[in-house]
Structure 1
Amino acid sequence: MTAELTRGQNHPLPRARLEIRVSAGTPVVAGATLGDENGKVHGAERVAHPGTPTVPGLEVSRQAAADHRLAVDLDAVPDAVHRVSVLLALPSAGQGPARFGAVAAPFVAVTGLDGEEVASFTLTGLEAESAVVALELYRRQGAWKVRAVGQGYAGGLAELFTDQDVPEARRLAGDIQDAVARGLARSVPAPGARASDGDRSRPAAAPAHDPGPTAAQAADAGVPSASPYDGRTAPGPQTPAAPGQQPAPQPYPGPAGDSSAAAGDGHVDYSHPRRQHAAPPPPPPAAPPAAPGQPARPVAGDATGWSLEERLYNQVWGMFEDLARTTAAYRSAVDFADSRREKELDQVLSDPRNRIGGQGDAAREAAHARYEQLVSQARQALDRDVAQLAAEAEVVEPALPAAYARWDNPVWHAYRVPMEIPMALRLGDLHLSEADRVRIPMLVRLPLERGLWIDSGRAASLDGSLTDAHEMRRLGLEAAVAHAARLLAVYPAGEFTVHVIDPAGSGTRALAPLVETGVLATPPALGAAGTADVLARLTERVDLVQMALRAGAPDALPPGFDTSQQLLIVNEFPHGFDDRAVNQLRYLADEGPAVGVHLMLVADREDCAAYGPLLDPLWRSLLRLTPVADDHLADPWVGHAWTYEPSLVPSGSDVLRQVLAQVAAARRSWPG
């Protein structure tokens, strides 16, 4: 049962992995501080906020939003931390309210990963305050508890941080508000928790992770930007430097003359200058209610957002989360039934008199019957949820825009070069073994924050046979071409440039769609000399932009400087790479995304074994994808091993060449 707390009350926490859900009537900033036993916070690195969303054991949202989900793992919190304070603040920028007394009372709930509420607190009585400590998770005699605090500060975050002895409190508060102001144009609410009784209509809610990988983080995963991540390396979201460690980069001219400021972590804001900054409107009217006792009929775009594209993005996120959680519930129920059966059988067999004879057999049969009953009930609940998700997928998939759609979607036949960069891009599909008929689009946010690694190593194919190394390399490059073509197609004319390094010239056939349609900036680079030339040009580009940003003179870039996003496809790495080229590639992977240079590596890691651990940071910095189905991605909630299937062009289809031909024609007519 949920404990509804009042100010000052506390409640024990039954588990270490939790979510803190925030619901407010206006966009708010969510954050947290990690304090010692006296509540003192020793440094800005122990403050989670939109500019630095991840600290040990905690992750918060990257934007201001009306609803938030904060991910908490108390087992991962450092031993020196005794208090985790959850903060809410009103953004100082924009036209919103300046005090909590002018808005509806925020509601905060602590829930398990299955969505079950542990404790909740409504922050009433606030007036002139613009920042508040909502909850406090604290250690007491080796266990964790939650306390409702509700302590407000009229002086905002600066006063709140000063009260907690955070060094350079005012500067940190200013950095947070600057990060929030830069993120307003890309603030994305995520769908809410699945309602009971099969009702899956989604009111407003906000993501705790910015798939970013993240999800597939993941959930970083990826998938919808929270994106999923490689389950073997399990890298978390990339965390920018703490405020005060280095000067914030200055803006440099973005595509089409956009001079939007670079984010404090070095990422350039490529958002469209006309994107609305007002709060998103409510979702469109839902379908007529279903008959009593029947699940709600699914509707495409039933999440919140500024546009249909954004609502569909949030809906896909909700489907991903719903499938993750309902599968987790099923697996947990099966594990419970199995452990209960084993316990009952152990009790029966512990008495020698029950080991033989009819009494023992009856007890064993009863234990097995109870096990089957529990599993059957769990399977019925799973099948009900999966059927509803499958029905939703059937209406959502045809409604997706080109950036989110599969290559076999008819939307590509009506393709036109866009005028604005979309929010996200589809890189494939995800599914779980218990719900194989439900495919969830894997969406990653744009512009890319990580490079991509198309793993061409030997892997199991869909039919269970082993694909040979030559075939895997061919499939890997074809997957890379499909991803690159999609990136070219979803960017406005002239705002995305692709380079290719193919040292041995082995990818001629797979690269033909890019070469023959004329969308490449230059022909594929061949040999060691061609490799060195492309790497030198892109490295110089990164250096120039970084120097301009650090000097605060973005207008000092050379005349005619190409401000478009750059993608480098490298085939059969490390063939044709010497030590200098390898170091340049690592530099591009680390520093390039912040200034619009992205890497797509087609490689077999075993081929790079001679470099030893030197390349380990390179693999960790890239999002690993495969050209065939593989279960290497994990979600950020319960860590399911999701099966990833790449987004490939159907055999015999000419849609990719038709789309690239339009991209090339628009590029030739582009005045830039």
Structure 2
Amino acid sequence: MTAELVRGQNHPLSQVRLEIRISAGRPVVAAATLSDHNGKAQGTDGVAHPGAPVLPGLEVPRQAAAEHRLAVDLAAMPETVHRVNVLLALPTRAGGPTRFGAVAAPFVAVTGLDGTGIAGYTITGLDAESAVVAIELYRRQDAWKVRAVGQGYAGGLAALLTDQGLPQAQQLADGIQDAVAQGLARAVPAPPPRPADADRARPATASLPGADPAGQGAGGSATQGITGPGAQGATGPAGQGTVGPVPAPPYPPGEPQGTSGTQSPAGTPTGGPIDYRHPGRATSAPPPPAPTAPPAAPGQPAPPVAGDATGWSMDERLYNQVWGMFEDLARSTAAYRSAVDFADSRMEKELDQALSDPRNRIGGQGDAVREAAQDKHALLVDQARAAYDRDLAQLTAESDVVEPALPPAYARWDNPVWHGYRAPMEMPMAVRLGDLHLPESEPLRIPMLVRLPLERGLWIDSGPVPSLDDEYADSTESRHLAMVAAVALASRLLAVYPPGDFGVHVIDPAGAGARALAPLAGAGVLASGPAAGAAGVAEVLSRLTERVDLVQMALRGGAADALPPGLDTAQQLLVVNDFPHGFDDRAVTQLRYIADEGPAVGVHLLMVADREDASAYGPLLDPLWRSLLRLTPVPDDHLADPWIGHAWTFEPALVPAGSQVLERVLAEVARARREWNR
């Protein structure tokens, strides 16, 4: 979880390779100075700025912009460096505002290379200042920390650099402003236009599905997501897995993975190009501007606006906004439950104290004591509920504007956005698995989003759910419902990936899922027909296992261009029904291998199974079950958030009864694939 800092507060850094993200709303200049243990800068050679953006262990952007990313490798810093000061300044020779008080408060986030949030700081309280020391990274006894500074300078960049102990600070400040104004500093390249045909190339590590660009790791969901919506190895109640947001987003679609040519943010080469041809792709549109909330009525909170969270694109802003709602609801509910618990314990304590005297246990005096304690209890609970209801009203209002604005990947199947569905040109940031809610906030539903590409396999539990309505307790019906949920999820994944970037394979040994699989099979979007029998199981598993092996060897050997010409490098999803029926020991081993190693190279597992069916394997399969994020085809409270540990009720994202939206979407997927294959 990201630490939200206030001015002067510090926070330990658990990583040495970092990214510093700046969002200012208006173009600002970003720079950094390297200082000794006394805070004195190491001369002009120790200043990274747009005209000289690269220093050992540090790289800053090359022009003024509203959004910045700075790459930092603390391990590569010289031994004499004890502080890294991150500076922001308004461009003074490009028009526009000349003081920070006239612009939105800048926000600075420190993240890991995989996007995991470490600390964030909103720089408030600025007025006439035109330059500010935003944060500092400092070394104490071989450990690094980040401190929120927020020290502004009305004298501008020159005054700031002078305070850093730099000689000729005015000349340096003038040179930086001139470089920005005249365009002498080389800009961070914008996303290049995507060729419409055969000339499209990707970096090798980014083009292989699930590959880890420059060793950064794929951004993941919660604690996987719900770990938040899921962390990948965390566990919730009964070991079922937690839900939780992944705090920071990946690089924007099309944006270079580093700020300098073929280097990653930490300066690690990303490898040679590899050409995967995607004819018919259109150039992606630029991200929309962040929406502005309308003015609030006096004494009222500002009306919510969809997409008003921070982010590099509207999808990212909506993603962050959804997870902000999830966290807000978790914390508000925790506060309410804590207040009720306090009221209960206070009433018990008062009754114990009052009734410890035998004279108060009889007659009207005892009744009066009980009544007074109960009245105090009711008052406290009512006050807590009133505060909770205010929070719920605000979150409900936000949900009412956010839900209709969600893109298809995030939207429910009944959202009108699906009626105008067209195959996308880029993979989205995340996908919706279902909804989450708590018993105290029953009407409010929070989307459960997990990051893409999936970092963890999914398991839809087809076992009976006796804790729910008896109609779901029947084994046959629960298995069918589980397969229906799997088909809806597989269809969504097919729909949100660009044509040719995602393939679905199905293993259905006994054909028990034929009825649920009809939409996929009928639309012709499966890589091949559902595999049946032991021979079909062996053939599909062998093919996908071989793909995992080949891509792993290519990546580890730096020979991505040596992959067999016929190898499909698109992301692959294996849907397995009725596991372990039809699986021998070899097939079980291959499935475990795919679950463990597949996600890193673009092979993902979606398993529909009742764990009791595999009880004969004993503890042998325990690692498999633990590696998968368990979902249910019906509402069940088996997921936990990573902040409080609430047991959240999960509801799968199913197609409404009688709706033809799934068939229409799959027909569009099939049409887009045919055009792409021409």
Q: TM-score range by the shorter chain?
A: 0.5 to 0.7
| Cα pair distance change 1:458/1:316, threshold 3 Å | same
Structure 1 residue 387: deviation in Å? 1.3
Which one of the candidate residues 211, 215, 220 is aligned to 2:221?
A: 211
2:108/2:134 contact within 8 Å kept: no
Percent of residue pairs identical: 61
SS in 2 for 1:670: helix
Report the equivalent of 1:340.
346
SS at match of 1:643: strand
* Counterpart secondary structure, 1:428: strand
- Aligned residue for 2:531, secondary structure, equals coil
- In structure 2, the partner of 1:533 is 539
What do you get for the CA RMSD once the two structures are aligned?
A: 4.1
Contact 2:524 2:670 in 1 (8 A): yes
Is 1:567 the counterpart of 2:578 in the alignment? no
- The equivalences for 1:193-342 within 5 A come to 211-216=221-226, 218-219=227-228, 221-222=229-230, 230-233=236-239, 256=276, 283-289=290-296, 291-342=297-348
Opposite residue 592 of structure 1, the aligned amino acid is: G
TM-score normalized by the length of structure 2 = 0.67
Q: 1:441-496: CA deviations, max 9, x gaps?
A: 11111110001000001114764655200001000001000000000000000000
Corresponding residue of 1:102: 87
State the secondary structure of the residue aligned to 1:397: helix
**CA contact 1:481–1:510 (8 Å) conserved in 2:** yes
SS at match of 2:409: helix
Q: 1:135 to 1:353 in 2, by over 3 A?
A: farther
Alignment-mate amino acid for residue 609 of structure 1? S
Select 2:58's aligned residue among 61, 74, 92.
92
* Aligned residue type for 2:592: R
1:448 to 431, 450, 454: 454
Task: Decide whether aligned partners of structure 1 residues 538 and 606 sit closer, same or farther in structure 2, where only a CA change above 3 A counts.
Answer: same
Q: Is the partner of 2:593 in helix, strand or coil? A: helix
* Displacement after TM superposition at 1:402 (Å): 0.6
Deviations 1:162-182 (A, max 9, x none): xxxxxxxxxxxxxxxxx9977
Distance 1:580 1:101, change over 3 A: closer
Residue 477 of structure 1 corresponds to: 483
- Distance across 2 between alignment mates of 1:632 and 1:235: 8
Residue 660 to residue 148, structure 1, CA distance change in 2 (3 Å): closer
Distance 1:255-1:107 versus aligned 2 partners, 3 A rule = closer
Match of 1:360 in 2: 366
Q: Which moved more, 1:505-514 or 1:486-495?
A: 505-514
Is 1:605 the equivalent of 2:611? yes
The residue number in structure 1 matching 2:357 is: 351
What is the distance in 2 between the residues matched to 1:522 and 1:501? Answer: 10
Q: CA deviation at 1:392?
A: 1.4
- Give the letter for the 1:211 counterpart: S
Mark the runs of 5 or more structure 2 residues left unpaired by the alignment: 24-54, 62-68, 73-83, 90-105, 111-119, 126-130, 150-211, 247-267
Shift of 1:65: 3.3
SS at match of 1:103: strand
Counterpart in the other structure of 2:49: none
The aligned amino acid for 1:366 is A
SS at match of 1:498: strand
In 2, are the aligned partners of 1:133 and 1:149 still within 8 Å (CA)? no
Deviation at 1:657, TM superposition (A): 0.9
DSSP-derived class of the 2:637 partner: strand
Change (3 A) 1:399 1:249: same
CA contact (8 A) 2:409 2:428 kept: yes
The answer to whether the 8 Å contact 1:572/1:602 transfers is yes
Please state if 1:21 is matched with 2:4.
yes
Q: Residue in 1 aligned with 2:637?
A: 631
Q: Would you say how many aligned residue pairs link Structure 1 and Structure 2?
A: 508
Letter in 1 for 2:307: G
Look up the equivalent residue of 1:416 and give its one-letter code: R
Q: Is the 8 A contact 1:423 1:445 kept in 2?
A: yes
How far the C-alpha of 1:134 sits from its partner, in A, is 8.7
Give the one of 587, 590, 593 matched to 1:587. Answer: 593
Instruction: Give the direction of change, closer, same or farther, for the CA distance of 1:411–1:226 in structure 2 (3 Å limit).
Output: farther
The superposition leaves residues 126-173 of structure 1 with CA deviations (integer Å, 9 ceiling, x where unpaired) of 9899732499999xxxxxxx99899xxxxxxxxxxxxxxxxxxxxxxx
What is the DSSP-based 3-state SS (H/G/I as helix, E as strand, rest coil) of the residue aligned with 2:574? strand
Q: Which residue does the alignment assign to 2:494? A: 488
Matching residue within 601, 610, 621 for 1:615 = 621
Separation in 1, partners of 2:675, 2:515: 28
Instruction: Specify which of 427, 430, 442 is matched with residue 424 of structure 1.
Output: 430
Query: Does structure 2 conserve the Cα–Cα contact (< 8 Å) formed by 1:500 and 1:523?
Result: yes
Q: Cα distance 1:304–1:374, how it changes in 2: closer, same or farther (>3 A)?
A: same
Q: 1:582 to 1:398 in 2, by over 3 A?
A: same
CA distance in 2, matches of 1:147, 1:670: 48
CA gap of 1:399–1:407, structure 2 versus 1, over 3 A, is same
The letter for the 1-side match of 2:3 is I
Letter in structure 2 aligned against 1:670:
W
Tell me if structure 1 keeps the 8 A contact 2:134–2:148.
Answer: no
How many angstroms apart in 2 are the aligned matches of 1:135 and 1:352? 62
Among candidates 660, 668, 671, match of residue 654 of structure 1: 660
Instruction: Please state whether the residue corresponding to 2:604 is helix, strand or coil.
Output: strand
CA displacement 1:602-635 (0-9 Å, x = unmatched)? 0000111100111111111111110000000110
What letter corresponds to residue 20 of structure 1 in structure 2? A
Change (3 A) 1:136 1:350: farther
